């Protein structure tokens, strides 16, 4: 007989395993039924999430100097670049990350061969370690400038604006868009910017940036390198205000602002914009320029609507579409996010149509600077709803987030803790986010906490990334109306500078979206163009992007174009629910709204701090519930699918049978900031 020697640790492990097995047997036999199981592939991914399910760290500082590491990469000194890079990438993997978002070093940007060799070594190290790489496409932000190289190539590629000066005999002037814009008021650098509706400028940007990465790293494209990340590009020609003075004093000034440039209302312009307008509408834009700045006649509104519709199409095709096509042709995905997603009015001057431009990304994204999880119940939902909706309407699944606790750190309340990081990740997952790119600092928290956060995200994606969201409601995105209403102003753009109709449109849309969010009713934003493409089904649902919707919510005062109005009429006649804010009592409160919408899954008692997302995968319903509040919640969840349910805890990795009462409801007990994944065993009804 062979005697086995046990260490104290091994003995405790064996005893714990035996006790756990005994508990499982008791749990199974107590109900008289075996414990339901996750499918094998789900279980394997849940227990050990692969890199594609884990977050990516945003790293701008991969560089070596004098043989010593600098920046965020605390690598191993005294080694060759390859081994130094491998040690640095190993550090990220040890923290639970799935890879990095990186770029050639900002110093001597795009020109230093040493920097290119260092980046190549880092990407090769990621390949050897099985880590994923995304390429960040700019020196800082906003993307499009190639760190100033585009304008060095040709100054005529600079962003232009048509400004209106009522004090001049000829009030119209075309000038560079720089002073008073985001280009001169951001946290990276005051630097002149390129024209996103000038196809020559965008072509130069792609040549200076994307093509350079391709020439040096082509063997890694499509395997290790999986996406390009574009950051906060915009049309620039609007005053969005000054950043705080204490921050502004620390910003690098590449191009000094000219104090003699007068602050004026303006709209974006380009060398061929008037010709594009003439070709599309058959009239001379120059004869109607005043309507872009003033007037409330039908003709004024028509000109504004036509102008911004054209602008939206140009920026969607010439910038976002150009990147989409290039990435697709080079075996990777286009991704990134736009500017000020949370400000509905600003979508007009910044990109024409925020939903449309994000729809031109393979992995549309958002920027969450606030890691207070309760942000979602205020305006955070809009930031996430835009890319999530763009993906759904286009029949795509993946959505990216750039997430950090920037707001908390700037305000002196950060860095946030692990619980807040998890809850912030979870509510975004409820809004379809699959790809987490992090500006969290690893130095702000322990290695264990960082690893636990990455494991948490990995477990969420193990279940949800291959799942299909099932939102039930469409919320109309009133960009068509805002095009007609928007009037530029010289001062920083605020809603109170606009017409009563514009203010009502924005307030109503935000109120309805907030109420849906707080009522745990998943919804998708839809603009007039997508609504016109939707199909009314015989069962009274509206189909678009491979999904069916049972309800449509319209903001107060929206003016639908005739093709969209016809779809809404047919949908209503087929039995679809159409709710207009301000008509009837259904939109008067979250309780009334919930009763009117009749959501498939609902909680009792009501709580604005519970976030819910519904998905389906392999015939199983999945419900993600997150308590974004700091206080515990106790209630019940009514779900449409019957049968056994599993309760998954992405924080601990525990998988348990969920209790189900005689009505088929699931008791829901959540601590503050806690998340649960509920997986049904029966087919979705």
Backbone angles phi, psi at 214, to 5 degrees: -65, -45
| 138 vs 208: CA distance, rounded Å | 10
Q: What integer pLDDT is reported at residue 32 of this predicted model?
A: 57
Nearest CA-CA partner of 677 in 630, 611, 633, 632: 611
Other C-beta atoms within 10 Å of 318: how many?
19
Other C-beta atoms within 10 Å of 43: how many?
14
Give per-residue burial for 390-412: e unless 16+ CB within 10 Å, then b.
bbbbbebbbbbbbbbbbbbbeee
Backbone angles phi, psi at 363, to 5 degrees: -130, 80
Q: What integer pLDDT is reported at residue 83 of this predicted model?
A: 76
Please, which residues have CB within 8 angstroms of residue 448's CB and are 6 or more apart in sequence? none
How is residue 585 written in tokens?
A: 């009592």
Which residues, in sequence order, are bridge partners of residue 473?
A: 523, 551
| 593 vs 581: CA distance, rounded Å | 10
Please work out, in degrees rounded to the nearest 5, the angle formed at the alpha carbon of residue 641 by the alpha carbons of 576 and 633. Answer: 95
Q: What integer pLDDT is reported at residue 593 of this predicted model?
A: 85
| 493 vs 239: CA distance, rounded Å | 6
Q: What integer pLDDT is reported at residue 641 of this predicted model?
A: 76
| 285 vs 274: CA distance, rounded Å | 6
The two beta strands, 68-69 and 473-476, are unpaired
User: Which value, in Å, is the radius of gyration of the alpha carbons in the chain?
Assistant: 26
Nearest CA-CA partner of 311 in 283, 265, 272, 366: 272
445-457 pLDDT per residue, tens: 999 999 999 999 9
Q: What integer pLDDT is reported at residue 683 of this predicted model?
A: 58
Q: What integer pLDDT is reported at residue 595 of this predicted model?
A: 87
**Are 123 and 225 spatial neighbours (Cβ–Cβ below 8 Å)?**
yes
| 669 vs 676: CA distance, rounded Å | 9
- Cα separations (Å) of 632 from 199, 428, 672? 53, 20, 5
How is residue 427 written in tokens?
A: 């509510």
Which residues, in sequence order, are bridge partners of residue 577?
A: 551
Nearest CA-CA partner of 510 in 369, 326, 659, 383: 383
Q: What integer pLDDT is reported at residue 81 of this predicted model?
A: 63
3-state secondary structure 282-335: CCCHHHHHHHHCCCCCHHHHHHHHHHHHHHHHHHHHHHHHHHHHHHHHCCCEEE
Q: What integer pLDDT is reported at residue 364 of this predicted model?
A: 98
Residues in the chain where the model's pLDDT stays below 70 = 1-33, 63-81, 682-685
Whole-prediction pTM: 0.93
Torsion of CA 448, 453, 454, 457, to 10 degrees: 160
Nearest CA-CA partner of 145 in 175, 186, 115, 114: 186
């Amino acid at each position: 007989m062979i005697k086995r020697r046990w260490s104290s640790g091994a003995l405790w492990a064996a005893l714990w395993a035996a006790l756990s097995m005994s508990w499982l047997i008791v749990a199974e036999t107590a109900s008289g039924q075996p414990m339901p199981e996750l499918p094998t592939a789900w279980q394997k991914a849940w227990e050990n999430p692969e890199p594609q399910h884990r977050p990516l760290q945003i790293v701008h500082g991969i560089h070596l100097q004098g043989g010593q590491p600098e920046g965020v990469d605390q690598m191993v000194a005294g080694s060759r670049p390859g081994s130094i890079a491998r040690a640095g990438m190993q550090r990220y993997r040890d923290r639970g990350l799935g890879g990095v978002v990186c770029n050639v070093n900002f110093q001597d940007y795009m020109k230093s061969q040493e920097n290119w060799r260092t980046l190549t070594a880092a990407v090769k190290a990621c390949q050897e370690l099985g880590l994923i790489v995304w390429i960040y496409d700019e020196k800082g932000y906003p993307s499009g400038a190639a760190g100033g190289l585009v304008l060095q190539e040709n100054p005529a590629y600079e962003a232009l604006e048509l400004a209106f000066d009522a004090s001049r005999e000829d009030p119209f002037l075309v000038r560079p868009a720089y002073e008073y814009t985001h280009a001169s008021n951001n946290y990276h650098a005051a630097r002149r910017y390129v024209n996103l509706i000038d196809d020559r400028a965008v072509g130069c940007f792609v040549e200076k940036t994307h093509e350079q990465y391709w020439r040096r790293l082509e063997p890694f494209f499509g395997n290790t390198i999986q996406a390009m990340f574009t950051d906060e590009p915009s049309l620039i020609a609007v005053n969005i205000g000054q950043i705080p003075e204490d921050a502004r004093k620390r910003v690098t000034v590449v191009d000094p602002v000219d104090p003699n440039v007068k602050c004026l209302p303006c709209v974006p312009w380009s060398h061929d914009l008037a010709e594009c307008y003439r070709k599309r509408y058959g009239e001379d834009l120059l004869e109607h320029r005043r309507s872009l700045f003033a007037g409330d006649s039908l003709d004024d509104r028509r000109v504004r609507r036509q102008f911004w519709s054209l602008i939206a199409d140009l920026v969607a095709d010439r910038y976002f579409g150009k990147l989409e096509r290039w990435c697709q042709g080079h075996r990777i995905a286009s991704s990134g996010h736009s500017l000020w997603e949370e400000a509905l009015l600003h979508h007009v001057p910044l990109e024409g149509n925020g939903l449309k431009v994000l729809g031109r990304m393979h992995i549309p994204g958002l920027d969450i600077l606030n890691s207070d999880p309760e942000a979602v119940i205020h305006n955070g939902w809009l930031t996430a709803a835009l890319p999530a909706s763009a993906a759904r309407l286009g029949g795509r699944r993946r959505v990216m987030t750039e997430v950090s606790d920037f707001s908390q750190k700037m305000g002196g309340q950060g860095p946030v803790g692990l619980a807040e990081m998890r809850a912030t990740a979870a509510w975004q997952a409820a809004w379809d986010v699959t790809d987490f790119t992090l500006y969290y600092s690893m130095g702000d928290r322990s290695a264990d906490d960082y690893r636990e956060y990455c494991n948490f995200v990995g477990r969420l994606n193990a279940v949800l990334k291959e799942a299909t969201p099932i939102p039930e409601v469409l919320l109309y995105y009133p960009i068509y109306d805002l095009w007609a209403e928007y009037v530029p102003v010289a001062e920083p753009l605020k809603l109170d500078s606009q017409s009563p109709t514009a203010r009502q449109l924005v307030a109503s849309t935000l109120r309805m979206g907030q109420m849906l969010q707080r009522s745990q009713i998943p919804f998708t934003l839809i603009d007039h163009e997508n609504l016109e493409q939707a199909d009314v089904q015989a069962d009274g649902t509206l189909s678009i992007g491979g999904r069916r919707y049972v309800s449509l919510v319209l903001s107060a005062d929206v003016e639908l174009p005739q093709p969209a109005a016809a779809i809404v009429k047919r949908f209503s006649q087929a039995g679809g629910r159409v709710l207009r804010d301000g008509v009837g009592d259904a939109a008067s409160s979250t309780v009334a709204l919930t009763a009117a919408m009749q959501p498939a899954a609902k909680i009792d008692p009501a709580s604005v701090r519970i976030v819910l997302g519904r998905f389906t995968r392999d015939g199983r319903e999945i419900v993600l519930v997150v308590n974004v509040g700091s206080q515990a919640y106790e209630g019940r969840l009514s779900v449409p699918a019957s049968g056994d349910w599993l309760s998954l805890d992405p924080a601990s990795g525990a998988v348990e049978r969920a209790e189900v009462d005689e009505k088929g409801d699931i008791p829901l007990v959540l601590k503050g900031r806690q998340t649960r994944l509920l997986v049904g065993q029966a087919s979705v009804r």
